[in-house]
Structures are given as structure tokens and as C-alpha cells.
Amino acid sequence: MKDDTRTALPHDGNAQAHFSHYAAPLIDNALACAAALRADPDAEVLHKLRVSLRRLRTLLWAYRPLLDEQFDNQQRALFKFYASAAGKTRDWDILIGLLDESEDAQAQPRDAMRAARSRSLDSSRETLEQADVKGALRDTLKEANRELNTAHERTPLPKFARKRLGAAQKSMAKRMKRAARAKRSDYASYHEVRKAGKKLRYLTEFFEPMLARKQLKAIKPLKKLQKRFGALNDVVASEQLLRDNPTLFADDAAAGHALDALAKERKRRMRAAAKLL
């Protein structure tokens, strides 16, 4: 399944009129993933659905100044719920992979973890099917277009793009500065950098046709940051998943040993992430 949801946009026109040019490909991709999931319970399909939903949340954030605040809050919360449901199986895959790489890989309860992963996949599919993702996404596009196209004022697209990208850049710089001053054990500040970096990267890709070459060069370091901070998030999420499922192991000692291995890996990845601050 193709996962490129970006689309070329003209340099002229207004932001209100071009919302659907950004949103429609993301919604089409999300709907394709949801349809594929019904036929093939593949965790990779869930991940692609999750990415499309994240991009939609970023797009709504970009258009927040032009949309009704309550509508924006509701839709972004809904997409966050869908993305969370879609991401649970991948969390198990990451945990299993990390423990397989540990020094005592042979001692890990693989059967129990795979059974838990299977239950998570079934739960994700059921949640997303009952949530009527298709109807919700189409309603979002319809309502947003109605609001934007009936607005009295028109906002030039290039001006809008520069302003929202600038806001994301300021947020990113602020969070990086805060994380650089934080204690090494303060993962929350690192997590905020990761989220801000993801938002900035998505916006840069959305507005790519209107950006100068110098601005486009920011994509490469953003990808590097996402990769390194994402690796840190993987191990932190795995630690939490393990704490939430203590019965996976035969006894507390075995569970503690696995958590110690993850804690050691987390510290290594935090040092690596800190170098990018």
C-alpha cells in the first residue's frame, strides 16, 4: 500500500480553499488502511493508519486559527483516540524486539508476549471497526470545508504557511531549550521535543511547494531527530507496557530483570538523543 500522502499544491490561492488538497489524500489513505485491516490483520497496516491520523491532527493544528476551536479540539482528540488504538499492537512488537536483543533473550516469555500481542491486535481492529472511522473522517472533512469556505476573510496560502511553520519552529526551539536544561532522567521534556519535531516535519512537508531551498534542508535533520527520539520513546513505552503486564513473567525477579535491561537501554538512548539538543 502506498504511504505517500503528500500532494503538490499551487503557490497562489488562499488557505481556506486549499484545505481539502491537504486533507483529502490523508483521509483517502486512512480509509484505505481501515479497509485493508478488515481483510488483513497486519500490524503494518495499523501503523500506516496511525501515521495518516497523526498527519491529520497536525493539519488541524495548522488550520486551528481558521477553524472553530471546539470543533478543532474535538476532532484532534478523536484522531488521537484512533491513533492510540491503532498503535497498541506495534507497541508489543517493539517490546518483543527489544527483549529479543537483550543479553538474556532466551529467558524472555515469548509465547506469553505473542499471545498478548494477538489479543491487542484483535482489540485494535474491534475498536476501530466499532468507532466508524470512515464516517468520522468524512464528517471532519465536510465540516471543516463548510467552516472554511463560508468564512468572510480569505488568508493568502503562502502567508498562512509561513506563519504556521514559524509558530511550529518557535515551539520546537522552546522545547529543545527546555529539554537541554532538564535532568537526564526527565523523559517528559524529551517527549515534548519529539512531538514538536514531528509536527514541524509534517508541516514542512505539507507546505513544501512554498518553501525556500534553505527551509527544505531542515527536513533531513528533523528526520534524524525523529529517529533518535523515536528510538528513545520506544524503550520508554516498552517499560510501561511491561509494568502494565507483570503476569507475563513467571515471577517478580524475572520481570525485574527484564525491566533492568530496558532501563539500561533507555539511558543509552537518552544520551544519544541529548547529543541532538
C-alpha cell at 163: 506563519
Q: Helices then strands (H, E): number in the chain?
A: 10, 0
Kindly state the average pLDDT of the residues 153-179.
93
User: Cell triple for residue 91?
Assistant: 507497541
| Per-residue cell: 172 | 520546537
**What pLDDT score does 184 carry?**
76
Give dist(CA 135, CA 121) in Å, integer.
22
Q: Are 239 and 266 in contact (CB under 8 A)?
A: yes
Q: At 84, give phi and psi (nearest 5°).
A: -65, -45
- Would you put residue 132 in left (φ > 0), alpha (ψ -120 to 50) or beta? left
Report pLDDT for 12: 58
- Residue 177: predicted pLDDT: 94
pLDDT band at 35 (very low <50, low <70, confident <90, very high): confident
Predicted pLDDT of residue 79: 86
CATH annotation of 156-277: 1.40.20.10
> Is residue 27 within 8 Å of 138, Cβ to Cβ?
yes
On the question of pLDDT at 194 being above 90, the answer is: yes
In the predicted structure, residue 250 carries a pLDDT above the cut 50: yes
Give the pLDDT confidence score for residue 100 in this predicted structure.
Answer: 87
pLDDT digits (tens, 9 = 90+) for 86-111: 888 889 999 999 988 877 766 678 88
Over 70: is that where the pLDDT of 251 sits? yes
> 3-state SS string over 190-233?
HHHHHHHHHHHHHHHHHCHHHCCHHHHCCHHHHHHHHHHHHHHH
Looking at 81-85, 208-212, 214-218, 268-272, which range is the least confident one?
A: 214-218
Angle at 269 between CA 264 and CA 274, to 5 degrees: 130
Cα gap 78→57, rounded to integer Å: 9
Residue 47 in grid coordinates? 501503523
Which pLDDT value is given to residue 155? 92
- Give the model confidence (pLDDT) of 41-85 as tens digits: 677 888 888 899 999 999 999 999 999 888 888 888 888 888 888
On the question of pLDDT at 7 being above 70, the answer is: no
SS3 105: helix
pLDDT of residue 58: 94
Question: Where exactly are the structural domains of the chain?
Answer: 14-87+129-155, 156-277
The whole-chain average pLDDT of the chain stands at: 87
Calculate the CA 190 to chain-centre distance: 15
pLDDT value, residue 2: 47
> pLDDT class for 231, splitting at 50, 70, 90?
very high
* Residue range 113-117: mean pLDDT, rounded: 91
